């Protein structure tokens, strides 16, 4: 069976088995001009807040991610197709502040690592999170892409022996300065006392 156009209507037509090759079928001449190849497209989505009435299409597709900036203010630019103002970018289960630019471009603020690793103030080891697009009615579109937080220099760990040495050095310098001032004062007093004789 195949679909073909007949009198401006699409109909289902029964094909005739080919006598020479039973795994093939014969179609009429007019049908060979109307049958076209098909393409397969698969999309993944999840109805996060239950079934929705509006269609899930057009499905937004993310082709690439581009990081701008870093440290305190890192921005991620998403390029693709079918973006809309009703979409938000999510890093794992963390929503990012999102700015819609056009159907092919969106921008978002990269969430701080502490959103994923509460005890971390800076990135200690590579941490990878999935990037998703979530529509305002709860439809979640998986992009198949991930964002990796890479290690960055953080505060130096405190070294107690070094801190103690520094404090001792400061105390020694203060004591030496006090002794020096006392010696000057004593010499000054001695000179002024000796001058009275």
> How confident is the model over 79-96, as pLDDT tens digits?
999 999 999 999 999 999
d(Cα 110, Cα 123) in Å, to the nearest integer?
13
Q: pLDDT value at position 180?
A: 63
Task: Please tell me the predicted confidence (pLDDT) of residue 91.
Answer: 96
DSSP state of 31: H
Does the structure show a pLDDT above 90 at 36?
no
CA distance 106 to 59: 15
Q: Does domain 45-149 have CATH number 2.60.40.10?
A: yes
With 90 as the cut, is the pLDDT of residue 130 above it?
yes
CA–CA separation, 173 vs 175, rounded Å?
A: 6
- Of residues 107 and 186, the one with the higher pLDDT is 107
Q: pLDDT confidence of 196, banded at 50, 70, 90?
A: very low
Exposed/middle/buried for residue 15 (C-beta within 10 Å: 0-12, 13-18, 19+): middle
When pLDDT is averaged across residues 166-176 and rounded to a whole number, the result is: 59
Given a cut of 50, is residue 77 above it in pLDDT?
yes
Count how many residues are written for the chain: 197
Question: Which strand (E) or helix (H) includes residue 94?
Answer: strand 94-95
């Amino acid at each position: 069976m195949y679909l073909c156009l007949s009198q401006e209507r699409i109909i289902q037509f029964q094909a005739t088995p080919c006598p020479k090759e039973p795994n093939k079928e014969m179609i009429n001449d007019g049908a060979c001009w109307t049958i076209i190849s098909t393409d397969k497209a698969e999309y993944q989505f999840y109805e996060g807040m239950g079934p929705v009435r509006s269609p899930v299409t057009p499905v937004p597709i993310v082709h690439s991610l581009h990081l701008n900036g870093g440290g305190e203010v890192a921005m991620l630019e998403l390029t693709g197709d079918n973006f809309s103002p009703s979409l938000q970018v999510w890093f794992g289960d963390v929503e990012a502040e999102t700015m819609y630019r056009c159907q092919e471009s969106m921008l978002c603020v990269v969430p701080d690592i502490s959103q994923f690793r509460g005890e971390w103030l800076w990135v200690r080891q590579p941490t990878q999170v999935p990037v998703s697009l979530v529509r305002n009615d709860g439809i979640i579109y998986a992009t198949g892409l991930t964002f990796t937080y890479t290690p960055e220099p953080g505060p130096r760990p405190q070294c107690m022996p070094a801190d103690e040495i520094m404090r001792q050095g400061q105390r020694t310098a203060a004591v030496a300065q006090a002794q020096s001032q006392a010696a000057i004062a004593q010499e000054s007093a001695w000179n002024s006392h000796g001058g009275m004789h």
